[in-house]
Structure 1
């Protein structure tokens, strides 16, 4: 299963590293990443493969939210198929 992780918040050193570390700890593979800093706001979208994950989707999503809270940024995890449905016109 694939998922989309979005991260938005005030830019700071180590955001990408901490999000990737949390993925690695759950054996979630990062497949694609795009990020920008927009007037001091960090914005990132990641596509990850959860097929070998050690956590189920709900637990992983909660872990990512907690990772974001610890950094003061908003981290959300959405199933890929739901993300595509939500953003399809």
Structure 2
């Protein structure tokens, strides 16, 4: 279930970013309330295969693009300890 949720989240980020719809923070909550997390922009662009994102952030890419944007996931996922903001 977590893997499916993560894939769905990444898909939403990629599609939203390609359409310019991602704001600074995107909140997501599962239907049963078990998962509650935010996707936060790290305010940095990135390149595939490089280590350009700040610590704790990942590079979100659209399709086969080599350029993307850095994001961080903050919050609770089922069965995992809470992620703490730094």
TM-score between both structures, scaled by the size of structure 2:
0.33
Where relative contact order (Cα < 8 A, 6+ residues apart) is larger, the structure is 1
